[in-house]
Amino acid sequence: MPDQSFDKDAPRRVLITGASGLVGSRLVAVLRADGFAVTALVRRGVQPGGQEIRWDPERGQLDPAQVEGFDTVIHLAGENIAAGRWTPQRKQLILRSRIDGTALLCRTMAKLQRRPRVLVSASAVGYYGDRGNELVDEDSPAGKGFLTEVTRQWEAATQAAKDAGIRVVNLRLGMVLSAAGGALPRMLGPFKAGLGGVVGSGRQYVSWVAIDDLVGAVRFAIAAGDLAGPVNAVSPGAVTNREFVTTLARVLHRPAVVPLPAIAVRLMYGEMGQSLLLEGARVRPAKLLQRGFSFQYPDLESALRHELQTSETARRAP
């Protein structure tokens, strides 16, 4: 992975939530390879001898003494938004899983004698809502809808850390492309069977990011002392759903002729399907580009080929 102007003298003690997730597990491995001392904040019981600290966001439990002295905090924890239909109960779980944990973490950090220099806190491009063909960046206003409200409150929950003088980066993630998990593996089965196709009109935009570039963006955010506030962690190559489908089919050498009509999406997935599959925003990573961040995979085809090759290599390994 390119060094991305990474400062070798950057703070070395890192506390991370969501360490076992798709992004977190990859990030922990990369940071440790970089020489960082990484400790995970976990909700389950702490493993003996492990580099872990227990917390309980639902009960508001986090021991300040245990989080004293970390230089960097990376906050990735949150309920999976695509794990099921958005019932009122599930929407509340999605919202509270982000706000409660973020607020607890930031209140605790604000009271420390040795506060971290930087908090990199996950957010999402859902902030922009459904924007059609409009090109949006970090200066664009919020959209409308459930995900917009979740991300707005999620970012607002970091205010205590900002007020305490901690540099806060609200990393607005797009769809993360990784063969190890997330959306891509769920697409591969139908496409490999020749059953892939355009979803709805196909005109809705997909703002995506290769997982290697997302990890690189987090490393960049840690080291770049002038980077703060919302930062779009997406590739500069946002594509429409039709372009995404066509590119994936080409990479897999399969046809993509079985469309998924909008009415079927709504019947199967309800509001979740409407928001995640039929709507989108064309998001530009303006702040990263302005500061010279270099994407390894700025175009969709190169990102897909890399991830699928990585997956195939892992499958063949003894």
Model pLDDT, residue 48:
77
C-alpha–C-alpha distance, residues 55 and 60, integer Å: 8
Q: Which whole-number Å values give the CA distances from 116 to 111, 163, 186, 222, in the listed order?
A: 11, 13, 38, 11
- The 10s digit of each residue's pLDDT in 16-30 is 999 999 999 999 999
Fold of the domain spanning 13-310: Rossmann fold (3.40.50)
Question: What are the beta bridge partners of residue 223?
Answer: none
When pLDDT is averaged across residues 78-82 and rounded to a whole number, the result is 93
Q: Return d(Cα 293, Cα 306) in angstroms, integer.
A: 20
> What is the predicted pLDDT for the residue at 312?
60
Summarised one tens digit per residue, pLDDT across range 132-171 is 999 999 999 999 999 999 999 999 999 999 999 999 999 9
DSSP state of 51: S
Tokens of 122: 């996950």
Question: What pLDDT does 259 receive?
Answer: 96
* Predicted local distance difference test score (pLDDT) of residue 6: 47
For residue 316, the model assigns a pLDDT of 58
Q: What pTM was computed for the model?
A: 0.93
CA 80 to chain centre: 11
Q: Alpha-carbon dihedral of residues 105, 161, 102, 35, nearest 10 degrees? A: -70
Residue of higher predicted confidence among 303 and 11: 303
Say if residue 7's pLDDT is above 60: no
Two tokens at 151?
Answer: 């991300």
Domain boundary assignment for the chain:
13-310
b/e map of 108-142 (b: 16 or more CB within 10 Å)?
Answer: bbbebeebbebbbbbbbbbbbbbbeeeebebebee
Whether residue 296 has pLDDT greater than 90: yes
Instruction: Please state the rounded mean pLDDT for residues 72-78.
Output: 97
The Cα–Cα gap between 114 and 65 comes to 10
Q: What is the pLDDT averaged over residues 252-271?
A: 96
Burial class (CB in 10 A: 0-12, 13-18, 19+), 203: middle
What integer pLDDT is reported at residue 317 of this predicted model? Answer: 52
pLDDT at 315 over 60: no
pLDDT for the residue numbered 1:
41
Residue 8 is predicted with a pLDDT of 53
State the average pLDDT over residues 78-87: 94
Measured distance CA(216)–CA(295) in Å, rounded: 8
Q: Which DSSP letter does residue 125 get?
A: G
Task: Write out the two tokens for 24.
Answer: 């977190």
Cβ–Cβ < 8 Å for 125, 283: yes
Helix H or strand E encompassing 229: strand 229-233
Burial class (CB in 10 A: 0-12, 13-18, 19+), 16: buried
With 80 as the cut, is the pLDDT of residue 80 above it?
Answer: yes
